[in-house]
Each structure stands twice: as C-alpha cells, then as structure tokens.
A and B are shown apart, each in its own frame.
Chain A
C-alpha cells in the first residue's frame, strides 16, 4: 500500500472544498452548466441517461480494506448499493445526486480517495498490473513508477488542458496484464545490459473509432529520466496535436499522421532541447516514493501446506483453485482473483455488502489489501496457501468464487445503453445472456482461455477491438445491431480483431457467439490451442462461413 503524506491529504481536502463551492454555485444558478461542466468533469462527474455518474480513481488498482469499506459506504449512502469496476481500474457510481456529491467526495477524501483526473482532457489514472509487487519474475514493483507519474502529472498545468484525454499504463512483467499497447503511452519496465532499470516506451495506442496498437519509440529510457521523457512526449503532443476535431485529437492520430519514426525524432529533439529542467529523478527521490509503499511481513510458509493437500480432494475447490489462484513471488502465498462475473450478473459490478465482505476477507487473509484489474475483477494479492480453502468457502457464500477467470464468461463489458448517454446499444444484457449460455463450468473449462469484450458504442470502453471475440453495438434504423470481430488480444502480442461480416441483431448475438465457439472447438488442432491461436492459424474465413452460411 502507498501511504499518503500531508501534501497529498491537503491537496485532496482542498479539492473537496473547491468542488463543494462549485456545486453550490451551480445549484444556485451562479454557474451555468456550460461553465460547470469542465469543473465537474475534473472531479469525475458525468451526466448519464438516468443520473450523474461519479467515477472514483483507484490509482494503479490498489485499495486498502479501509478504502474499500468507504467505497461500500458511498455506494450504500449516496447511490443504490452497488458500484461498477471499470477497465481503467476505477469504480463508477451510477445514481449519485449532484447536491450530495461534495459530501461523498469528503467521505472518500478521509481515506485518501479522490476523483481527480478520472475524466476530462488531462492525464488520467495511471494504471498498472493488478499483480504488481507480487507477481513472480517481475522486474520491480511498477506501482512505484505509476505513483511517481501520478504525483508529477496531478494538476500539472501542462497536462490539465490537453487536446484530449491521455492514458498511461505500466507493466513490469513479461506477460502484460496492464494492456499497455492500447494506451497513449505504454511503459514496459525492464533492465538493460548493465542491469539498470528503465522503460521501453511505446506511444500511440488506443481504441475508439480509430484503433491503433502502440509502437515503440525508444527501447530504453533510464528510470531517472522517465518524467522528462514523458514530458517531452506530452510537449510534442501539445504542440502538434489537433484541437480542431475531437475525433482526431488523440496522440494516436498524431503518431499515425507523422509516422512513428518522425514522431520519435520529434520527441528526441524536444527532450534534448528541454535539457535539465529539474525532472531528473535522483536516487533519493525514487527511494522516497518507494519507502511509502508498505509490503506485508510475510511468514516463512511451506510450498504445499497440509490444508491445501486435504482440500484438493474437493473437486469444486480444486476447480476454483486451478482457475482463480495464481503463483506469488513469496513461497507459501498466492494471488487470488475474485470473479465479478457471476452467471447472469452485470460484469464488474459489486454490491456494497460484497465490498464490505471483501474488505473483511482482505483483513483476514490478505494483509488488508485489494487490487482491481482492468478485466473488471478484484484480487487479494497476499493470501497464504494454507488459508485458501477457508477463503474459497467465504467467497463462495458471497458469490465471488465463480471459477471463470479468463474463460468465456469472464466478459469485459461497458455499461452500454442501460446507463451511458453515448451508447448506441446495450452491452450488459448481451453479457448476461452469454454467461447463461456458457454457464456450465465443464464446458467453459473445455473451451479454455477466451476473452469476450463488449462495447455499446465505438468509443470502446469495453475494449471490443482487443477481445478474442469482440462485440460492438451499433444502431441501424432505431434497432440494436452488433458487429463481431475475432482474433483481437490486449497482451504483449496485442492486435486488433478482424470483423467477420455484417452486424447481427440483438436477438441473434448469443447464437452467433455459440456458433463461433463451436467452430473453434471443431477447428482447433489440439485442446491446448487457444481460440485466439486457432484464429491466427486459420484466419477468420472458417468462422465467417459458420456464422453466415445459415443466416
């Protein structure tokens, strides 16, 4: 966990006071909506179909049990008893009242939570691997660098009025769980030949109506230089990025139009021109941030405790363990993913009661720490293996032990037309129907790893482009239709999915997905060949034929 210092606390509290005054002036009519809109967006407040939506930042997806309990309280006291975890490791409340928002914000500020830079044309929440600091083989904890960037960019004037929103993600593992290649800047922490820590810097990734995979502009930037290098990128973006057309304003468009080589040269020249602007991180500055992260006092525990051996006789426990429990860097411990994708439930939603219960379980089994992943699940990052059977029983009672992590029912979905004012079509009921179709865990296990991502509009909050199967809601003559892509992925081999054919109506989507999955099962050359690899080997044609031959 990162412990906020007095400066952080003062900043957050001052922000609450400012926003309270802004809301008061808005409700009295002193501020018009046009004047107020940019202010509310700077505090994570959107206006959606039914109500205001309040997006709260969870920096790099790390929460304490105390913070999660407070989020539960906000859900219960100010909303309708639940929250929605997002693909950028944030949480959204869907029914909040503007008049009560300052109070909610103040209650969150008490535990070091805020909503700064969760919306608007600024540097958004810096995201990271939800297993940061505990994943075996990690170069080092990427959250330290996420926090350094967070501190530098928060309320920074150069980053507060950008041409468009700007997103950074950081990974420090071989396997990219932070989807860095679909971010404006992706940073991959690694060591150079001299053993020094630094970053491969990728720029220009993003989804939306013009999707691009980020490209590397510099294979190694020393850690001490990362702030100045990121600033050089932002300066080039600020200088050349388009402000005349919202659809062409993201950095990915600039990178595409300039070409990656020219963009890289521009950044390099800007970086040299900047010279020493006081952004070089000396060792003590990095260590100061590092020292504010606390790590558990792990016990020395056996690799295979008796409790785990005994529990292995229970096939339900074993199914869950194999699916939801991952290796930890410390012997005797595990990382446990809590699926927020129950059969028939809205993906990524958690009730206030579930949040409170998870906070209690985190205290009991995970040193009081919880993580949020971009796949819209939670994780307990420090669970002793001996405690896994007890934890499983508790999670099962809460509906949080669905053994479907990374399987066909672990669906990423945006709120869609049920909530969102931008959406063309619904996402959640499509996801719910798919989870019912594939509810049988044996079937899901047999299918293997398969990511279905659903967006209700081209803005792609559900990351449909990079789903192994992507589903995009569109509108045709007032009816909901869905375009289907296959072969996308968001990991270290990220690529966009390929459209398989004409959009299909709402009522046929689940049938089409079943057809695609059945085609895969018939086409894969062995059970271990993942869906996405079969698509890579054979292309989309066999799937297209299966779906459209009878339609």
Chain B
C-alpha cells in the first residue's frame, strides 16, 4: 500500500473524506463541511466525485496550521448515513489499535 500521503493522481471510486493529523497534537481529524476539522468521522464531509475530492483536499491542505498531511481516504456510507472507514488503515486510524497492550 503506497502511503496515501504520496497521492499524486486523484481518482476516487466511491464515497471519500479528507483526513489529516491535527498539528498541535497529531490527533486524527477529518475535514468537515464547514471548513473545519473534527476528530469524529461522523462529522466528515463526504465527497463522491474526483473534482469534489480535489477541491476538499485543496481546502484541507491550505489549512496547514490546523492539520498536517491531508489526503483523501475511502469510506463506506451505511444504512442511515453511518460512515465507516473504507480500509484497514483508516479503520485503525479511526478506531485505534487492534492489539492488546498488555499480555493476555
């Protein structure tokens, strides 16, 4: 998996969001429709076309003080509008570690 931070051509095939890490603490954040960032995936602005994705990404990248390393990530929109991460990497970023920290 090439790191999404190395995205060059932007061509999305399904619902996507723009995600990054918050500058001051590195927390995972998602670009919202009101031009801000949220730590909740549920708040993310969803885009469905490559043009919209490019525009949302450009907006996120421009906010260099708010967040770092913005890129487009796939999501799944479930019944009732519930947003789920679209791959394992994004699942881990959204939900946290998949491991036990203590021996078991």
Contact = CB atoms under 8 A, between A and B. Distances in A.
A478 interface: yes
Interface stretch (A45-53, A183-191, A267-275, A372-380): A45-53
A429 B1 CA distance: 19
A49 B89 contact: yes
B68 A33 contact: yes
Contact of B98 (A50, A82, A343, A418): A418
Given A417-B88, A475-B1, A49 B98 contact: no
B101 A29 contact: no
Contacts of A95: 26
A429 B98 contact: yes
A108 interface: no
Contacts, number: 82
Contact of B102 (A33, A50, A345, A429): A345
Given A97-B25, A421-B3, A428-B99, A47 B92 contact: no
B35 interface: no
A422 interface: yes
B88 A33 contact: no
A349 interface: yes
Contact of B100 (A49, A426, A432, A475): A432
Contact of B26 (A32, A51, A422, A429): A51
A478 B73 CA distance: 13
A342 interface: yes
Interface string B21-53: 101111110000000000000000000000000
Contacts of A47: 21, 26, 68-69
Nearest to A419: B97
Given A97-B24, A97-B26, A98-B23, A29 B65 contact: yes
A85 to B, nearest CB: 15
Interface residues of A, number: 38
A51 B25 contact: yes
B93 interface: yes
B96 interface: yes
A511 to B, nearest CB: 19
A346 B101 contact: yes
Contacts of B82: none
Contacts of A421: 3, 5
Interface string A14-56: 0000000000001111001100000000000001111110000
A345 B103 contact: yes
A50 B28 CA distance: 6
A33 B1 CA distance: 24
A51 B92 contact: no
A342 B101 CA distance: 11
A50 B64 contact: no
Given A47-B68, A50-B28, A50-B96, A417 B23 contact: no
Given A50-B93, A344-B104, A432-B100, 7 more contacts: A29-B65, A47-B68, A50-B96, A97-B26, A99-B24, A399-B103, A480-B88
Closest 10 CB pairs of A and B: A51-B26, A345-B103, A97-B25, A342-B103, A52-B26, A29-B65, A475-B1, A344-B104, A344-B103, A99-B24
Interface of B: 1, 3, 5, 21, 23-28, 64-65, 68-69, 87-89, 92-93, 96-104
Interface of A: 26-29, 32-33, 47-52, 82, 95-99, 342-346, 349, 399, 417-419, 421-422, 424, 426, 428-429, 432, 475, 478, 480
